[in-house]
Structure 1
Amino acid sequence: MHIVCAGHINWDVRLHVDRLPTPDGEGLIKRRHESGGGSAANVAVGLAELGGASHVLGSVGDDERGAKATRRLEDAGVEPHVRTVGKATTVKYILVDEAGDVALLGTDGANESFGADDLPVATLEGAGALHLTGQDPETAAELARRASPETVVSFDPGRRAADRDYDAVFGHVDLLFVNAREAQAIDVDVPIIVTKLGAKGATWAGPDGVVESPGIDVEAVVDTTGAGDAFAAGFFTAWLDDRDPARALRVANACGALAVGEEGPDANLSWERIETMLDR
């Protein structure tokens, strides 16, 4: 069983700063780190690291950054359905302060140039799950409509949840990922809502009630970027195996905790590291 992740494939430029500047303020850049990124790509890589079969649908520009972002997917064992277009690959400039908090700036670029028709029908029909991220609402809705009844449709709208009209998507969603801020901004009726609470853990709200899972202490927070994507990868890997929400939340929290201790979106997930984290 494989999982299709649809959405953005970016190039991340991460600037570690002494503080996140306030309006008319200034911060000091302490170091710089570049890597592939984008929520759909990050989840697909995490799934592959945990031994799953993952596909990703997205687009990049015909440039060096696009080639590197695509190679990251291939090297991780992800099956890429990547459309290359005559635009620059989308770049996200991520400011990370000493506490691991972030602020983002982005270019428009190529990352919404793909469409539902860029994903082979057989790949979508045979998927155990279709994981949608904060992408173009029309494309997300069309992909959700095309998913077979046996496919779990999940959605993580991310930071732009309040800026885009996803009403047509929510009607097809089986499982919604949100953080605490997004949970307050989104009022929809979907079967399952998983709320990510960072250091406080996570909750599952579904037909059988609410399941809570505490957070996991980490030695140091390096970078919270991509922690939610690592969480989703861990959650899917566990939940699709036995449909146990308590276990899925524990594994997901461990993956998120591993991610905040790494620089960049790649959490270097493995079951050995997850078990060690859970032993805490």
Structure 2
Amino acid sequence: MPRVICAGHLNWDVTLRVPALPDPDGEVSVDSRRAGGGGSAANVANGLADLDVAPVLLGSVGDDEHGRIARAELDDRGVDVSNVVVDSDLETTTKYIVVESSGEVMVLGCAGANEAFTAADLPDESLASADHLHMTSQDPETAARLAERARRQGVPVSFDPGRRIDDRGYGPAITSVEYLFLNDREAALALDAFDLSEQTLVLKHGPKGAEIRDGTRRAAHPGYPIDVVDTTGAGDAFAAGFIAARVGGADDERALSVANACGALASKAPGARTSLTWDDVRTFIGE
């Protein structure tokens, strides 16, 4: 079974569904409220476990109930959480995710323990035995150091820096990885700021599908038409599908097809995590 390390945030998510975002000084009723483990790295690891990949999570939580539940949820799903750091001086990071009726999201974050881990918290033997390292939003120095260590071990690295790509100093990490996952806004910023001639760009176009750019090589997939319920975690599901397909030997076109299917499945259900088994993916694609 392929082994993939996911490094980044493990949070406690509180998701509020509302009919629409309120105007300034306004108020709307909350249609539903749910809470559970979240964070991009944890979400990708959860999806990989569904897709018959052995995921290892590198992240950090506080020594509190939310951190214990978040780790237990992942452990129950088959994610190796032995490298998750528990910081007794900080609380598990909480994210408040507001989802309006169109499925679009707004995120409010509270500072906490999700960047308490460092690159040194991943043992050399764990990295050396991995087939892939996937990094999500995290401390820029940690990301750059992890990418450097993986390169020395010959382990391919992907990076999804997320919505804060323009203000976190991710340059050294971005230019050190093989695969870079970007949505349209992030791609516009990255292409303007960095020399990405050595990176394979995996570009997410939302309802318009996705594409790969690698030098002069191009591959694209149009995506799947769906009724969107909640886009929370859709990008993480996309990454899980793409990585699972690639470590399983799929070509670009197949990897994009699987990734788009996983992103669509995530968008059709509430919450950051949904079932992404190969049976679910093949049924959705129509195989």
Q: How does 1:117-156 map to 2 (within 5 A)?
A: 117-147=120-150, 148-156=152-160
TM-score normalized by the length of structure 2: 0.94
List structure 1 segments (4+ residues) > 2 angstroms apart after TM superposition: 21-28
Q: Deviations over 1:215-265 (max 9, x none)?
A: 1122x3221000000000100111122250000000000000100111111
Q: Which runs of 5+ in 1 are unaligned?
A: none
**Given residue 198 of structure 1, which amino acid in structure 2 is its aligned partner?**
G
**C-alpha deviation, 1:191, in angstroms:** 2.2
Q: How does 1:218-237 map to 2 (within 5 A)?
A: 218=226, 220-237=227-244
SS of the counterpart of 1:23?
coil
Q: How does 1:75-94 map to 2 (within 5 A)?
A: 75-80=76-81, 81-86=83-88, 87-94=90-97
Partner of 2:8: 7
Query: Is contact 1:223–1:261 with CA below 8 Å preserved after alignment?
Result: yes
2-structure distance, mates of 1:170, 1:157: 8
Partner of 1:65: 66
Aligned pair 1:18/2:19, yes or no? yes
Q: Deviations over 1:177-236 (max 9, x none)?
A: 001111111123142000111111101001451111011122x32210000000001001
SS of the counterpart of 1:268?
coil
2-structure distance, mates of 1:23, 1:163: 26
2-structure distance, mates of 1:154, 1:254: 19
Equivalent in 252, 262, 268 of residue 245 of structure 1: 252
1-structure distance, mates of 2:115, 2:165: 16
Partner of 1:157: 161
Partner of 2:29: 28
SS of the counterpart of 1:29?
coil
Count of aligned positions: 279
Q: Which runs of 5+ in 2 are unaligned?
A: none
**C-alpha deviation, 1:276, in angstroms:** 1.4
**Given residue 225 of structure 2, which amino acid in structure 1 is its aligned partner?**
D
SS of the counterpart of 1:127?
coil
Partner of 1:209: 217
Aligned pair 1:191/2:199, yes or no? yes
TM-aligned CA distance change 1:149 to 1:83, over 3 Å: closer
1-structure distance, mates of 2:22, 2:171: 34
Identity of aligned residues (%): 50
Which structure features the higher share of strand residues?
1
SS of the counterpart of 2:276?
coil
SS of the counterpart of 1:216?
coil
TM-score normalized by the length of structure 1: 0.96
Q: Deviations over 1:15-47 (max 9, x none)?
A: 001112343343321110111000000000100
SS of the counterpart of 1:160?
coil
2-structure distance, mates of 1:75, 1:276: 25
**Given residue 265 of structure 1, which amino acid in structure 2 is its aligned partner?**
A
SS of the counterpart of 1:79?
coil
Aligned pair 1:277/2:278, yes or no? no
Q: How does 1:31-46 map to 2 (within 5 A)?
A: 31-46=32-47
2-structure distance, mates of 1:43, 1:72: 14
1-structure distance, mates of 2:166, 2:234: 20
**Given residue 175 of structure 1, which amino acid in structure 2 is its aligned partner?**
Y
Aligned pair 1:260/2:267, yes or no? yes
Equivalent in 181, 185, 194 of residue 185 of structure 2: 181
**Given residue 242 of structure 2, which amino acid in structure 1 is its aligned partner?**
F
**Given residue 185 of structure 1, which amino acid in structure 2 is its aligned partner?**
L
